[in-house]
Amino acid sequence: MTYPIQKTDAEWRALLAAKGAEPGAFDITRHARTERPFTGKYEQVWADGSYHCVCCGNTLFDARTKFDAGCGWPSFSQALPGAITEITDHSHGMVRVETVCSQCGAHLGHVFEDGPMPTGLRYCMNSASLTHEPTKPESTPQ
């Protein structure tokens, strides 16, 4: 599958290093690895804002859809429309639905049908695949 943003492995490595991405971000985003549960920097972040692809900056989730699934990874009940592409994943002897960034193909995690209503979905993401941008305070009129 091809994505609008294409780079070589060397270019992705350099880009992630320049952004100060956490160790393992390249293997997670470009080679579908998974970080250990309860180790990611966003697993217990509850600030307002939005979550973006660490590779290309594509906005993926509104922080208001984040919930504590108790699984050890940041979990969201809804992705922004068109932000994520879902791919059937047959790895590790299981059938799951992998989620990748629709702009650059970065592996984000998986989506499961055991989340809260109204969607019933749990987008289980690797922190190393994400960046968080807090909501900017509104300026007061002068």
> Within 10 A of 21 (CB to CB), how many other CB atoms are there?
20
| Residue 140 dihedral angles phi and psi, to the nearest 5° | -90, 140
Structure tokens at 96: 């799951």
Of 53, 55, 101, 124, the active-site residue reads 124
Please give the domain boundaries of the chain with CATH numbers for all domains.
Answer: 9-133 (2.170.150.20)
For the stretch 37-48, pLDDT in tens is: 999 999 999 999
To the query of whether residue 124 is one of the catalytic residues in this protein, the response is yes
Q: In this structure, are residues 79 and 72 in contact, taking their beta carbons and an 8 Å threshold?
A: no
Q: Is the pTM of this model over 0.85?
A: yes
Mean confidence (pLDDT) of the chain: 95
For the stretch 57-94, pLDDT in tens is: 999 999 999 999 999 999 999 999 999 999 998 988 88
